[in-house]
Structure 1
Amino acid sequence: MSGLDPVTGEWLEAQGFAIHNPTVWLEALTHGSFNGAGPGGASDYQRLEFLGDRVLGLAVASWLFRAGDGPEGKLSQRLNALVSGSTCARIARVIGLPEHIRLGKQARDDGGADSDNILGDVMEALIGACFIEQGFDAAQAIIYRLWAQELEGDVGKAKHPKSALQEWAAGNRRAGPVYEVVDRSGPDHAARFTVRVSIRNVGSAEATATSKSEAEKLAAKAFLERFG
């Protein structure tokens, strides 16, 4: 197995990653398609990605908990957005990760270096490698620096009320919301719909609007305001 490329080593250190064992960082940057990856050769990033995903989740959850007093549903909504593959991939591009991923020729030709899935996984693998090399505090500090714009911004805040309610139900281990039209009034050209949304063993909320979809949206919003 070849050693860590000096240019990649300098890049890692510029991002704040301290390299003690180059093999760990090689593993974090190696895709399964890379020549020599697998049995008898270099390990790919999957195990480190598994670890880094948990480190990232704990660090972001801790930040969100300390940053405000939002209810669990809203915290889960933001957490899911902040640790999503697309967010990880976006940060990976910002720091210039794509050119340092070790990919097989076919995977690279197929655009693997710009794949959200691969970039997101490798970003998490780097966090896992940082945890192994430097411990949780160092990994958390790097996460807070790299994720600063997302943490301070609106990622995960703005969401359609129906989607937010669906995620709230899942996050609280509840059955999915059920919507039903409980009243329709007025002529066709000026109809008004009243919709009730309910979640079993939690409660219900109603809203009225000039369309069924708008009434559902307002009902979901009312439910979250009441129970979220």
Structure 2
Amino acid sequence: MKLSRDLLAFQDRLGHAFAAPELLIRALTHPSVSSPSRQDNQRLEFLGDRVLGLVMATALLDTDRTATEGQLAPRFNALVRKETCADVAREIDLGSVLKLGRSEMMSGGRRKQALLGDAMEAVIAAIYKDADFEAAQAVILRLWGTRIGTVEEDARDPKTALQEYVQARRQPPPDYVQIARTGPDHEPVFTIAARLEDGTEEQATAGSKRLAEQAAAKALLAKLEQQS
């Protein structure tokens, strides 16, 4: 099986030449376009999540040999979460080669965080099955790059940090209030306010409520720390 020009270019960006190109094609095939003769990427996604987890757990242990399990766990979660996988996928323009059904294409599937994250995990599994663990590990470490060494900041959950900050000052926990929701149903944009009992607040906008809440919490915490 020969790869198209677009897939050859993607293979170069990925940094792995497939001996079995059908594995790459399967990894990029969303369930919306699968058929009895064309397997989708869901089983590969399942495997890729585990391969990524092992690579990251090993990398974190090697990077910081004195860290406790309590310190390592949030770093690990930050590195393997769907948002991080989607960010990596965007950096190598994975969305441009996703094989999607018409409905997913019309609804902006090539930009959807969940689809990109799932496909990135599937591609990792495809590399593992095409070669071996070491090949998948090499690609992951290169693509995740400096994220591994700088994950401490990303691992600090802003909502938890804000709650701990106000509780230490004997204040009630913050409220998260949806201010607005805009955009189409398939690609909504949320504006959330993180608000304290005294009315102090910060707002943030993101493509999901969770991300908007985290961004608002981070902004409010920064304001409080500056004021103190």
Structures share a fold, TM > 0.5?
yes
Match of 1:133 among 130, 134, 139: 130
Match of 2:61 in 1: 65
Aligned counterparts of 2:61 and 2:25: Cα–Cα separation in 1 = 34
Q: Decide whether the 8 Å contact of 1:29 with 1:101 is kept in 2.
A: yes
Aligned counterparts of 1:77 and 1:104: Cα–Cα separation in 2 = 36
Match of 1:30, SS state, is coil
User: More displaced, 84-93 or 13-22?
Assistant: 13-22
For 2:68, give the aligned amino acid. Answer: P
- Cα deviation for residue 210 of structure 1 reads 4.9
Could you say which structure has the larger radius of gyration?
Answer: 1
Gaps of 5+ in 2: 175-228
Aligned counterparts of 1:84 and 1:17: Cα–Cα separation in 2 = 23
Q: Decide whether the 8 Å contact of 2:77 with 2:155 is kept in 1.
A: no
Match of 2:87 in 1: 90
For 1:211, give the aligned amino acid. Answer: Q
In the alignment, is residue 109 of structure 1 matched against residue 106 of structure 2?
A: yes
In the alignment, is residue 8 of structure 1 matched against residue 17 of structure 2?
A: no
Q: Decide whether the 8 Å contact of 1:79 with 1:156 is kept in 2.
A: no
Match of 2:160 among 159, 162, 171: 162
What whole-Å deviation, never above 9, does each CA across 1:50-92 have from its counterpart, x for those lacking one?
A: 1110000000010001111211122111111110111000110
Distance 1:151 1:63, change over 3 A: same
Q: Decide whether the 8 Å contact of 1:113 with 1:119 is kept in 2.
A: yes
- Cα deviation for residue 126 of structure 1 reads 0.5
- Cα deviation for residue 163 of structure 1 reads 6.6
Structure 1 moving runs of 4+ over 6 Å? none
Q: Decide whether the 8 Å contact of 2:13 with 2:92 is kept in 1.
A: no
Aligned counterparts of 1:42 and 1:159: Cα–Cα separation in 2 = 40
Q: CA RMSD in A?
A: 2.5
Match of 1:56 among 52, 55, 58: 52
The TM-score, its normalising length taken from structure 1, stands at 0.68
Match of 2:19, SS state, is coil
Match of 1:56, SS state, is helix
Match of 1:190 in 2: none
What whole-Å deviation, never above 9, does each CA across 1:66-120 have from its counterpart, x for those lacking one?
A: 1112111221111111101110001100111111000011111101111111000
Gaps of 5+ in 1: 166-178, 180-192, 196-206, 215-228
Aligned counterparts of 2:159 and 2:122: Cα–Cα separation in 1 = 33
Match of 1:170 in 2: none
Aligned counterparts of 1:92 and 1:161: Cα–Cα separation in 2 = 26
Match of 1:211 in 2: 171
Aligned counterparts of 1:150 and 1:65: Cα–Cα separation in 2 = 15
Aligned counterparts of 1:125 and 1:18: Cα–Cα separation in 2 = 16
Aligned length: 171
- Cα deviation for residue 164 of structure 1 reads 10
Match of 1:156, SS state, is helix
Match of 2:143 among 146, 149, 152: 146
What whole-Å deviation, never above 9, does each CA across 1:13-33 have from its counterpart, x for those lacking one?
A: 332112111111110000011
Q: Decide whether the 8 Å contact of 2:26 with 2:38 is kept in 1.
A: yes
The TM-score, its normalising length taken from structure 2, stands at 0.68
Q: Decide whether the 8 Å contact of 1:31 with 1:101 is kept in 2.
A: yes
Match of 2:30, SS state, is coil
Aligned counterparts of 2:92 and 2:72: Cα–Cα separation in 1 = 27
